[in-house]
Structure 1
Amino acid sequence: MTNNIEKKLTSTEIIIDEIANTILSGELKPGDKLLTEREFAEKYHVTRSCVREAIRSLSLIGMIEIRPGGGSYVADAQKEIPENTVLWMYHQNLHEYGNIYSVRKLVESEVYLECYDCLTDEVRNFIVAERDKLLNLDTENITPEEMENLLASIDLTIGNYCGNNILCKLLQTVIALRREASINILSLNSSRVSAVYYRCKILTAMLQDDRKIVKDSIKGFFKNSIKELNLKN
């Protein structure tokens, strides 16, 4: 794994974001056919390989259904992907962690931002409680599995609070996809300390009246995540 994942995926992330936004906004409905690779490439002035990576990434989390020889379609938002199927897809694409990383960045960022946009006193109280729990965490005496379970629990609750059922379902899939890699990274105490620091930074930002601070804290979190992955590998 190199330090250039984000640079290599810049164009791919743009396509992922564009396609995902048209689906999440309701512009594209379940069953709608997407543009062809060539049409996407011409529309966004990128290579077809970038488009192909983006479509495969979105298919990994169940947002898009690829029909061999028939094109790509918006998947049924109500159709659940069994966890064993998700993990199988993950293992089939271990050499393409960049795809999973870019989709994770998209989904988790949107979940936290949408939650921020509809904050209630209940959500604020949850954020304060979870931040305090993390700040008091003994990172030396918690297993990587326990740490990932704690972080996943926070993410899933934020997902439930965000009010977007599609994003919440996608988040569940992303958490299953990321689990093995996250546990591997969290095997280092320094990584657990970093995870606490950056997650608390996001939670603290969500309590402030500035959306840009939230976006910047999320960006910092993912920048550190890819750094931790590179150090581990």
Structure 2
Amino acid sequence: MFQPVKTKKIYEMIIEQIQAMILSGKLKTGDKLPSERVLAEQFSASRASIREAIRSLEILGVVECRQGGGNFIGDYKRSNWIEPISLMFKLGGGNFDEILEIRTVIEVEAARLAAIRITEEQKVAFIALIEAFKSATSEEELSQLDQQFHIIIAEASHNVLIDTMMRAIQAILKNFIEEARHSINVWDQDSGVLLLQHCKIEEAIIAGRSEEAALNMKEHFAMVVRSRSQ
């Protein structure tokens, strides 16, 4: 009926305290942690336990260790947790169609929110990206711009969870994005269709037409889904 009681290791309790301070807002992205010696004194723990805790948090992407500069609370945009998600997706037998399903759910709403919340600075970056799209020639360049396009929309939604999820999805998508672009080009026999779709989404977001932006994004993914069945 009962489970054996397990004693937590010192470094695990240190990790819990640091995580609790992040969740409470006492520690924020970019904050520098005290030195190893000071942490050892504050936690009444050995420096070995402090090092183990910091190393574990670094692997998770919670802490960023800068050579000669100390340890800092990490930025979720550069977090190390994204890569393990990609590996688990592959190990679980995930496929491109599953990526399309979750992206449709997330990115339609991201486009709607972006049209409402996008900043002037983000508009400038968005317009510049579309211009780069128009002049791109290689498949590699187009794929990179395509990824940036969707990340900009996620950022412009100013929803941290949408932004975080999109970065995780993009990491997974790297193995599939060329497949998506190729299927569209073969189906339509005109690579310009993808550019046209992106321009329609961008114009609606820049103009603040939220429902149109969401509809254009939905149509964009519907087109990709149709291309899969051709």
* Interval of TM-score (by shorter of Structure 1 and Structure 2): 0.5 to 0.7
Q: Distance in 2 between matches of 1:87 and 1:198?
A: 27
Per mean C-alpha deviation after superposition, the further-off stretch among 186-195 and 99-108 is 186-195
Q: Distance in 1 between matches of 2:85 and 2:229?
A: 24
Match runs of 1:179-190 below 5 Å: 179-187=174-182, 190=185
Identity of aligned residues (%): 14
Question: Normalized against structure 2, the TM-score is what?
Answer: 0.56
State whether structure 2 residue 153 is matched by structure 1 residue 158. Answer: yes
SS of aligned partner of 2:217: helix
| Counterpart residue number, 1:171 | 166
Question: Normalized against structure 1, the TM-score is what?
Answer: 0.55
Shift of 1:207: 2.4
Supply the AA of the counterpart residue of 1:226.
V
Shift of 1:168: 0.8
| Counterpart residue number, 1:89 | 88
Task: State how many pairs are aligned.
Answer: 151
Shift of 1:134: 1.7
Per mean C-alpha deviation after superposition, the further-off stretch among 127-136 and 173-182 is 127-136
Match runs of 1:22-37 below 5 Å: none
- Contact 1:202/1:218 (8 A) holds in 2: yes
Q: Kindly provide the CA deviation profile for residues 16-62 of structure 1, in whole angstroms up to 9, marking residues without a partner as x.
A: xxxxxxxxxxxxxx9xxxxxxxxxxxxxxxxxxxxxxxxxxxxxxxx
Match runs of 1:1-233 below 5 Å: 82-94=81-93, 97-138=96-137, 142-143=138-139, 145-187=140-182, 190=185, 192-231=191-230
Shift of 1:223: 0.7
Unaligned runs of 5+ in 2: 1-22, 24-75
Shift of 1:100: 2.5
Shift of 1:189: 8.0
CA RMSD, 1 decimal: 2.7
Shift of 1:221: 0.4
- Contact 2:108/2:215 (8 A) holds in 1: no
Q: Kindly provide the CA deviation profile for residues 82-113 of structure 1, in whole angstroms up to 9, marking residues without a partner as x.
A: 34322223323446544332211112222222
SS of aligned partner of 1:207: helix
Supply the AA of the counterpart residue of 1:167.
I
- State the structure with more CA Rg: 2
- Contact 2:201/2:217 (8 A) holds in 1: yes
Supply the AA of the counterpart residue of 2:225.
I
